[in-house]
């Protein structure tokens, strides 16, 4: 699940396409979990998530002695998946400059309390659904599908805020490789792409304004070089802002 989900950000290109890309990322995590649920569910229960293991233990469905080994295996699995993905992207021509699926939030938009509360509610919802559909009283063959779609739905809602974790192992794995080989969180890549688009838009506006001023200077019989030649970039930007405000 960690490999498929984070790969949708790293090699799938959805990380730089937010907010529309969150549907693809959510489905990748959801489908990965569905596959894992049906593949290894009969063997280990397919927890893949320390929070789920804790919920199963508190529900009285597993002994205390198995909790820590499950947590260790889950975290090691996430690290191995992230390592494999990191090895893949380091072979990218020109180096990898996209995201690596690490969780985080935009401090300019969200406070840490908002991010923490969203993750708390999302994790509680996810674990509750898992405990409900796997209950012996009404267990169904569609349990894996319901769980995977729930995870996808949580991603649709939470990615713009925290990148969606609801799984400590999923957060730890990619975080260990954050910043290595140019890897960045998906939200950081989105913000960087947005900033570049904004910079290009402002440069186009300034260029059009500059051409208009040059035409006006020529029409008034002035030498445009005398007017623009001594202008520094910052002064030019300040003048552009002032003229646009008129």
Quick one: pLDDT band at residue 162, thresholds 50, 70, 90? confident
Q: Contact 101/10 with Cβ under 8 angstroms?
A: yes
- Please name which of 193, 163, 191, 32 lies closest in space to residue 100, comparing C-alpha atoms: 163
In Å, how far are 1, 54, 173, 183 from 80, measured between CA atoms?
12, 22, 8, 16
Q: What value does the mean pLDDT take over residues 148-157? A: 93
Q: Contact 151/160 with Cβ under 8 angstroms?
A: no
Q: Kindly state the percentage of the chain with pLDDT values over 70.
A: 67
Question: Which tokens belong to 141?
Answer: 């063959």
pTM, to two decimals: 0.68
Quick one: pLDDT band at residue 89, thresholds 50, 70, 90? confident
pLDDT of amino acid 26 = 87
pLDDT digits (tens, 9 = 90+) for 129-147: 999 999 888 778 899 999 9
pLDDT digits (tens, 9 = 90+) for 212-228: 666 665 665 655 554 44
pLDDT of amino acid 99 = 62
Q: What value does the mean pLDDT take over residues 47-65? A: 93
Strand partners, 99: 184
Quick one: pLDDT band at residue 183, thresholds 50, 70, 90? very low
- Please name which of 26, 71, 69, 64 lies closest in space to residue 48, comparing C-alpha atoms: 71
Judge whether residue 120 has pLDDT over 50: yes
Q: Contact 90/96 with Cβ under 8 angstroms?
A: yes
Quick one: pLDDT band at residue 123, thresholds 50, 70, 90? very high
């Amino acid at each position: 699940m960690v490999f498929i989900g984070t790969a949708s950000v790293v090699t799938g290109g959805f990380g730089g396409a937010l907010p529309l890309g969150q549907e693809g990322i959510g489905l990748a995590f959801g489908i990965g979990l569905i596959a894992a649920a049906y593949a290894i569910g009969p063997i280990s229960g397919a927890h893949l998530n320390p929070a789920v293991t804790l919920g199963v233990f508190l529900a009285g469905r597993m002994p205390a002695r198995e909790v820590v080994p499950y947590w260790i295996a889950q975290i090691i699995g996430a690290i191995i998946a992230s390592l494999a993905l990191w090895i893949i992207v380091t072979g990218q021509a020109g180096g990898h400059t996209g995201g690596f699926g690490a969780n985080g939030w935009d401090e300019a938009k969200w406070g840490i309390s908002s991010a923490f509360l969203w993750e708390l509610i999302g994790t509680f919802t996810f674990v509750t659904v898992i405990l409900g559909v796997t209950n012996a009283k009404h267990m169904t063959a569609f349990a894996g599908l319901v769980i995977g779609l729930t995870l996808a739905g949580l991603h649709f809602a939470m990615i713009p805020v925290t990148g969606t974790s609801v799984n400590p192992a999923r957060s730890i794995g990619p975080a260990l490789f954050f910043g290595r080989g140019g890897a960045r969180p998906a939200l950081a890549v989105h913000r960087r792409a947005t900033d570049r688009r904004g910079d290009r838009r402002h440069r186009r506006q300034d260029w059009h304004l500059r051409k208009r001023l040059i035409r006006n200077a020529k029409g008034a019989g002035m030498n445009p070089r005398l007017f623009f030649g001594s202008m520094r970039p910052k002064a030019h930007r300040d003048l552009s802002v002032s003229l646009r405000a008129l």
